Structure 1
């Protein structure tokens, strides 16, 4: 008789799917897979060798990924999704995350950069991220982490310099978390987000805390801790609820947190909460002067809100609705002025939506469009690899040459 600890992965998937009261069809839709694929997995006919797929399943089932694995099994972490970024570069960033120059007795690093230069470097790093230039950013972050750590240690007076140095230090940890999450390194993303939260609390800065909470919530989603992500982003959004004298920055961070909370609720299949959170985010967006903005690097505004509504529909397994939102509710002119990362990410969302409804030709076109906007958003992300794999699998015969070429460049094969 097989003990619970020795149950095969497929049986564990079936058990938790039943516990969540999901039919095989609904479960398949949320994964972007076919019902036949789910049946084969649960019967043990099809294996689950890729850890990224296990993470997706755990996320849909709202459990820790370890609960799908036999006792004592130590899964391999995600590898870099693309040769554009090497394992060594990720290792350098991990080493930088492990440094603690702010421990008692530490001294400033030699060659300290002026605060103005650090400020400019952090701004450039945010722009690099929002242009989707992830290989450039992953190589720049180790030095930037060292520079901002040294700046916070060195600039003890005047007060405004102390505050700014701490703020910049926290922002760089947020950037590291955002990038690592994109690349599928969820444990490292959580570490960076936790550091960002610690710095924000030390600074006593409400806006910095809100920004950090958004990254912390997304890192928790990557680890399959969806309910915790929903809780922390909702609490942080409530804490920043704008009053009559709220700044545009406060409104933006508040709205950004509501969007992150809505995405977490969508992963839980909680449609009522998704609707309520988007309603509040719509009210926040209406308070922004002049529509779309990029205050506090959030990109929050009416257009980005609609992009999140399409993404939430995909998470809920409603690809048709995501496509309708894109066609009827997104102004192409307003979309065109958003940062390349946002636009390429939207193309990835559309590709996922088209794959859900079996329109693999349109899914391939969306991936190609996203690759033109910000190649790293498509080539470096595990989720993009999954969508491309679905496109190749569902395409009858040979895929179009441009799609086949992109798949080869991404390293995706059937």
Structure 2
């Protein structure tokens, strides 16, 4: 099973679980998995064999064809599982799964919502367009503007400017020597980090390419901050391919090499620990995840905001935002409620970061079955960053809410406005 099919199968499993109003923990107990493992299955980060898929399909009352696989002779047929007697309910179930599959697969097939990594960027990562060298000062200014687009969640604009920026930075690096070449490599690394982050927003596999090139340029620059930033995005691509343990080791090793006493390197060190915490949680390691969160929280007490092209903020608010996401992926969203109640999301440093934290808050409320609170958080995502609300992951969450809580006032309008109903059968929207 390739990464794409695992993601699509996970979307079907998630849709079936939500339809049956089951938690990830309940599915895990029935099928022999932890809640975090079910989360990884649903996100496509954990691959299952035939027998394991049959077991989950039987529990969720799914036929194997819904998962895109064929029965194997001698294996128990899923069709023998008792089906609902209500034909209308059965039709609604089939429509739900079709819609959930489409919503979950938006990142790899079908439409291109606002903010998707542009085809030009994908092409540029494999073959840069022709470009002439530019003065270093202008290159820094252009990269700062691109970073401002990312922080403001202007992903469409970012996707348009990145190919030219990468090409210009590469051309400038190739004609530079000495200290200036080191400086240009640092800027080139920052541009590739932006390309990786944009691709990660769309679960696009070219993030691997961008992150690897970012780290190569960063190491050539000799500057620890670009190295740390590049290591973080590379570790995220590792996590999304299922290599959680390796990613945690990589992140903690990189963090150890950074001077905690310096403002910028200390802040980057803290962000590496936060990413490592979430990665450990994704791998089901609760103890390591919470230990890293606590260590990061201690680090923030000694941090100050730093400015410049590689500005990195490390605050208690950001730690608390990560804590909510860690509890979500560990399958204990109820532990995130008191954290969310005291979290000052409005104080986070950018629309992108605020929207991401509202997304984690929406996932928390959705896992707890609170439809109105979920929609309220999703509306804050849209308010902070409209293009965030149109990303595949948010559209999938909106679709799940639409299917599981169709009577929540305003959900149909929100789903239509953000494109989440494009995958939904009309019968469920009437």
Q: Please say whether Structure 1 and Structure 2 have the same fold, judged by a TM-score greater than 0.5.
A: yes
Within a 5 Å distance, the mapping from 1:148-297 to structure 2 comes to: 148-156=169-177, 159-185=178-204, 187-242=205-260, 246-289=261-304, 296-297=310-311
Question: SS of the residue aligned with 2:133?
Answer: coil
Question: SS of the residue aligned with 2:214?
Answer: helix
| Counterpart for residue 164 of structure 2 | 143
> Take 1:178 and 1:28, find their aligned partners in 2: how far apart are those partners?
22
> Take 2:396 and 2:152, find their aligned partners in 1: how far apart are those partners?
22
TM-superposition CA deviations, 1:362-392 (whole Å, max 9, x none): 1011111110100111212x22122112211
> Take 2:149 and 2:120, find their aligned partners in 1: how far apart are those partners?
19
1:261 and 1:277 in contact (8 A); partners too: yes
2:153 and 2:388 in contact (8 A); partners too: yes
2:57 and 2:63 in contact (8 A); partners too: no
Q: Residues 24, 314 of structure 1: CA spacing in aligned structure 2 closer, same or farther, 3 A cutoff?
A: closer
1:82 and 1:411 in contact (8 A); partners too: no
Q: Residues 339, 118 of structure 1: CA spacing in aligned structure 2 closer, same or farther, 3 A cutoff?
A: same
State the TM-score, normalized to the length of structure 1: 0.76
Residues 1:400 and 2:419 are matched in the alignment: no
Within a 5 Å distance, the mapping from 1:11-410 to structure 2 comes to: 21-22=32-33, 27=38, 31=42, 39-41=58-60, 44=63, 47-48=66-67, 78-79=108-109, 82-85=112-115, 90-99=118-127, 111-156=132-177, 159-185=178-204, 187-242=205-260, 246-289=261-304, 296-328=310-342, 330-331=343-344, 335-380=346-391, 382-397=392-407, 399-401=408-410, 403-410=411-418
2:121 and 2:163 in contact (8 A); partners too: yes
2:128 and 2:163 in contact (8 A); partners too: no
The structural deviation recorded for 1:310 is: 1.1
Question: SS of the residue aligned with 2:66?
Answer: coil
Give the total of aligned pairs: 351
Unaligned residue ranges in structure 1 (runs of 5+): 1-8, 50-74, 102-108
> Take 2:348 and 2:396, find their aligned partners in 1: how far apart are those partners?
28
> Take 2:212 and 2:127, find their aligned partners in 1: how far apart are those partners?
14
Structure 1 residue ranges, 4+ long, deviating more than 6 angstroms after superposition: none
> Take 2:36 and 2:219, find their aligned partners in 1: how far apart are those partners?
44
The structural deviation recorded for 1:30 is: 8.6
The structural deviation recorded for 1:25 is: 11
> Take 2:146 and 2:328, find their aligned partners in 1: how far apart are those partners?
30
| Counterpart for residue 76 of structure 2 | none
Which stretch has the larger CA shift, 356-365 or 279-288? 279-288
> Take 1:276 and 1:201, find their aligned partners in 2: how far apart are those partners?
29
State the TM-score, normalized to the length of structure 2: 0.74
Q: Residues 211, 319 of structure 1: CA spacing in aligned structure 2 closer, same or farther, 3 A cutoff?
A: same
| Counterpart for residue 52 of structure 1 | none
> Take 1:281 and 1:350, find their aligned partners in 2: how far apart are those partners?
20
Q: Residues 37, 252 of structure 1: CA spacing in aligned structure 2 closer, same or farther, 3 A cutoff?
A: same
Q: Residues 361, 129 of structure 1: CA spacing in aligned structure 2 closer, same or farther, 3 A cutoff?
A: same
Q: Residues 233, 24 of structure 1: CA spacing in aligned structure 2 closer, same or farther, 3 A cutoff?
A: closer
Unaligned residue ranges in structure 2 (runs of 5+): 1-8, 14-27, 44-54, 69-104, 425-430
| Counterpart for residue 56 of structure 1 | none
The structural deviation recorded for 1:230 is: 1.4
